[in-house]
């Protein structure tokens, strides 16, 4: 085995992410409390044992994912898929909680602390602006923005209908900021909506378009969806065939995808650029998990600031 790969794997284990450390600490703490309570409160101790086992398993999975480069290719691939699916389930639970919380808190409020080029975040199919809470915080922390979000109206409306909503929001942002160098980041369907907006509404205000796991070439999973937008996102739909001729006209188009995407099938449908500086593909993140990943946030910052990937250092490590 290549000695350099082994050393790199050791470094990755030594530089474990905060989440992995939190899982490990949580597992140890739960196990410790369970031992203390076992003699008095058996039921609580049993629950804590389950929690400790679960947290420990998640931490072990993340560590295996971190050292996958020294594992045989089939095993590494399996680890990536298990990692993506397990944490995707956890992410979807978080998305539901955020959706409920959105009824009390408006996630459409812009971050007004920055005075740079505005950024508009466009969510995906049957989601809301609440899914952007992590990415919005990370971009604001990097002093980018102001950062806006939009709630697409009819969850089952056509891609064109959603693009009209984006057009209205873009006009609002231009009036509020007085700027015409607005960047759009679209997740899943939101990236396709933004691309349609750019090619059909002739807007010069869109300076940069970044798509995250978007069905730019359609997805087979759209055949199982409901609504006009699902039909629009199907492989070889009239809209997809039309858009594939128009992507070439979009300047500053950047793509982020993931090989373990169960909703964009095939995952290559989320990629358009041949320029490696404008395209990043992950191998261990799920479709929704991309929105809660520090690695994705780091890539977005680079895309938005036109910095080279060499400056990422450890930010792309699992």
47 confidence band (pLDDT: 50, 70, 90): low
Q: Which residue is associated with the tokens 């959706």?
A: 99
Quick one: tokens of 162? 């959603």
Q: Which residue has the higher pLDDT, 68 or 31?
A: 68
**pLDDT for 49:** 60
Nearest to 123 by CA among 43, 65, 191: 191
Work out the average pLDDT over 244-270: 93
Q: Could you tell me the pLDDT band of residue 314, with boundaries at 50, 70 and 90?
A: very low
pLDDT tier at 59 (50, 70, 90 boundaries)? confident
pLDDT for the residue numbered 103: 59
- Residue 238 has a pLDDT of 97
Rg over alpha carbons for the chain, rounded to the nearest Å, is: 21
CB atoms within 10 A of CB 261: 28
Asked if residue 80 has pLDDT above 70, the reply is yes
CA dist., res. 145 & res. 131, Å (int): 18
* Short-list 70, 63, 80, CA closest to 14: 63
pLDDT in tens, 180-215: 899 999 999 999 999 999 999 866 778 899 999 999
pLDDT of 243 over the 50 cut: yes
Region of 120 on the Ramachandran plot (φ > 0 left; ψ -120 to 50 alpha; else beta)? beta
Q: Looking at residue 27, what is its pLDDT?
A: 52
**pLDDT for residue 273 is more than 60:** yes
Q: Is 75 exposed, middle or buried (0-12, 13-18, 19+ CB in 10 A)?
A: exposed
Query: For residue 317, with 0-12 CB atoms within 10 Å meaning exposed, 13-18 middle and 19 or more buried, which class applies?
Result: middle
Q: Is the pTM of the predicted complex or chain greater than 0.85? A: no
Mean pLDDT of 259-285: 90
pLDDT of 120-155, one tens digit each?
Answer: 999 999 999 999 999 999 999 888 989 999 999 899
Residue 26 has pLDDT above 70, yes or no: no
Alpha helices by DSSP H, 67-185: 73-101, 133-141, 159-177
* Average pLDDT over all residues of the chain: 82
Sign of the C-alpha dihedral computed for residues 244, 147, 181 and 303 taken in this order: negative
**Mean pLDDT confidence for 99-120:** 69
Q: Is the pLDDT of residue 310 over 50?
A: no
Instruction: Give yes or no for residue 2 having a pLDDT over 50.
Output: no
Q: Residue 149 in contact with residue 118, Cβ under 8 Å?
A: no
SS3 state of residue 313: helix
């Amino acid at each position: 085995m290549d000695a350099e790969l082994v050393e790199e794997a050791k470094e990755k284990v030594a530089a474990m992410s905060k989440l992995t450390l939190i899982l490990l600490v949580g597992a140890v703490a739960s196990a410790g409390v369970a031992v203390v309570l076992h003699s008095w409160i058996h039921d609580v101790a049993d629950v804590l044992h389950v929690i400790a086992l679960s947290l420990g398993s998640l931490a072990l999975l993340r560590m295996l994912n971190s050292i996958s480069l020294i594992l045989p290719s089939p095993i590494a691939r399996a680890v990536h898929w298990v990692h993506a699916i397990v944490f995707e389930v956890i992410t979807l639970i978080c998305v539901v909680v955020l959706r409920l919380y959105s009824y009390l808190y408006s996630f459409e409020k812009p971050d007004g602390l920055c005075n740079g080029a505005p950024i508009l975040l466009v969510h995906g199919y049957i989601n809301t602006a609440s899914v952007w809470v992590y990415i919005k915080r990370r971009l604001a922390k990097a002093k980018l923005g102001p950062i806006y979000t939009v709630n697409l109206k009819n969850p089952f409306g056509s891609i064109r209908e959603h693009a009209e909503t984006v057009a209205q929001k873009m006009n609002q942002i231009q009036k509020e900021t007085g700027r015409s160098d607005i960047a759009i980041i679209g997740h899943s369907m939101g990236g396709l909506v933004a691309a349609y907006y750019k090619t059909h509404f002739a807007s010069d205000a869109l300076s940069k378009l970044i798509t995250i796991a978007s069905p730019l070439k359609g997805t087979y999973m759209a055949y199982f969806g409901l609504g006009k937008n699902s039909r629009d996102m199907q492989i070889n739909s009239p809209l997809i065939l039309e858009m594939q001729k128009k992507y070439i006209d979009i300047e500053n188009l950047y793509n982020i995808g993931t090989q373990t995407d169960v909703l964009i099938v095939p995952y290559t449908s989320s990629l358009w650029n041949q320029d490696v500086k404008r395209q990043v593909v992950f191998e261990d993140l799920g479709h929704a998990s991309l929105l809660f990943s520090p690695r994705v946030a780091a890539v977005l910052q680079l895309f938005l600031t036109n910095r080279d990937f060499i400056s990422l250092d450890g930010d792309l490590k699992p």
